Amino acid sequence: MNVLDVYAAASEAISRAKRGDGPTLIECETYRYRGHGMYDTGLDYRTQEEINEWMRRDPIERLKQKLIAEKLASDEGLEAIRSRVGSRIEETVKFAQGRPYPPVEFLTKFVWT
């Protein structure tokens, strides 16, 4: 739940691999704010207070606050980035929705048993 910790661990793993020191397993634990599916609120097996507590630790929001506090970014600049990314996502979704469904045989094409 810390973007910079994950970046540091991944950077070290990449360096290890490039030096030929072998692979690295990085375990990242995170918290799912929503339920498992569209109709699952998650409130059957956890409290709203628990969810709220984890949301206060949101890694993206924490990074945003750090960038602003250290004057590496402004709220306006970050919002502009969020807006551009949101627009690209919307364009991509529209593109995907306008494409035909793949053939049924693709359902198992990349499944290995």
Catalytic residues, by residue number, are 32, 36, 45
Comparing CA positions, the residue from 33, 28, 39 lying closest to residue 3 is 28
Which is it for the CA torsion 58, 60, 61, 63, positive or negative?
positive
Residues 6 or more apart from 62 whose CB is under 8 A from it? Answer: 2, 3
